[in-house]
Amino acid sequence: MTETARAFWIAAPGRGEIREEPLPRPKKGEVAVRALHSGISRGTESLVFNGRVPESEHQRMRAPFQRGDFPAPVKYGYCAVGRVDAGEEGLVGRTVFCLHPHQDRFVVPSDAVAPLPDGVPADRAVLAANMETALNGVWDARIGPGDRVTVVGAGVVGALVAWLAGRVPGTEVALVDVAPGRQALAEALGVTFAAPEGAEGERDVVVHASASEAGLATALGLAGNQARVVEMSWYGNERPAVPLGEAFHSRRLSLVGSQVGQLPPDRRPRWDHRRRLSLALRLLADSALDSLISGASGFESLPEDLPGLLAGRGEVLCHRVDYD
């Protein structure tokens, strides 16, 4: 008999609901997973929830195991952690990460799940997809020992980039944000904090992750001569003004786009997405990263909670969704 699962769907831009759908039994090469937690990736999911994915990006923005199409109705998300109930013998009983939408139970190919390493708790593993994005950003930034690095935007991805950069020997890392409350986050991650007006300039590498015009202008202004500026923000259907006048050309700045969908060219001969995810999961063993999970709520309340969470009420970083 076919069982039933419950999944969160964006029924229309700005409105979500829980829907029941058939849950097949796993076939050979598949596993059945019972969700423990999922994470709300606030930047991307805000754009999806509000119907702001540009039509030109409808195919490229599809998440694994997404159902429906942009703008709606669509089932979207990619930060799920659960326990394997059935399927491949070597995985049954294991706690795994999967790039899956918010859903209480699901069946996927066995190679779509990654077992959590020892020392990584399930409730922290919801950060795995964001850690992959941050890893790609650090690779694109080419941060080296002793570099003076500034990250503008202390959301989850920006904070993870700063944390990774701070682990490179000899680096001086500053996390810049307009919210004074982010200072405690920076301290928990072992990096310094500054407001935009107080940030030091002449940086070797600047990473922008605030998804705002003002943040991008700040990032360009903090870069030193011939420095590298990495743009990690995604603006959806907005067209931010980019200040390429003044000293941009005379200082020979490099402005580089970074996005998690593709590995940097110099990594592709040896790395694939599976290897990157494995590393991202191992890096989550540090309990300091719990400071990035700003709250939690139950799956059944997601339709009521999500609009406020995506609007940023309550200093939201990564919001965890818990399943019974």
pLDDT in tens, 121-180: 999 999 999 999 999 999 999 999 999 999 999 999 999 999 999 999 999 999 999 999
Any domain includes 231: yes
User: Which of 220, 239, 257 is a domain's end point?
Assistant: 257
For range 222-243, the mean pLDDT: 93
174 and 188, same domain (yes or no) = yes
Domain span at residue 219? 130-257
Tell me the C-alpha distance between 100 and 76, whole Å: 8
pLDDT at 264 over 70: yes
242 and 294, same domain (yes or no) = no
Tell me the C-alpha distance between 263 and 266, whole Å: 8
Residue 202, token pair as written in the block: 């002449």
Its pTM stands at 0.95
For residue 276, the SS3 value is: helix
Residue in the block written with tokens 């995604």: 234
Long-range contacts of 260-268 (CB under 8 A, 24+ apart): 260/129, 260/132, 260/133, 260/136, 261/60, 263/136, 263/139, 264/136, 264/139, 264/140, 266/139, 267/139
Q: What confidence score (pLDDT) does residue 42 get?
A: 85
Q: What confidence score (pLDDT) does residue 314 get?
A: 54
pLDDT band at 311 (very low <50, low <70, confident <90, very high): confident
Percent above pLDDT 90 for the chain: 92
- The continuous run of DSSP H or E covering 140 comes out as helix 128-141
For range 8-29, the mean pLDDT: 96
Residue 262, token pair as written in the block: 């593709």
pLDDT at 236 over 90: no
User: Which of 221, 241, 257 is a domain's end point?
Assistant: 257
pLDDT band at 237 (very low <50, low <70, confident <90, very high): confident
pLDDT at 1 over 70: no
247 and 309, same domain (yes or no) = no
Any domain includes 271: no
Our count of domains for the chain comes to 2
pLDDT at 313 over 60: no
Any domain includes 273: no
Q: What confidence score (pLDDT) does residue 238 get?
A: 85
For range 24-43, the mean pLDDT: 95
110 and 151, same domain (yes or no) = no
- The continuous run of DSSP H or E covering 45 comes out as helix 42-49
174 and 152, same domain (yes or no) = yes
117 and 19, same domain (yes or no) = yes
State the average pLDDT for the chain.
95
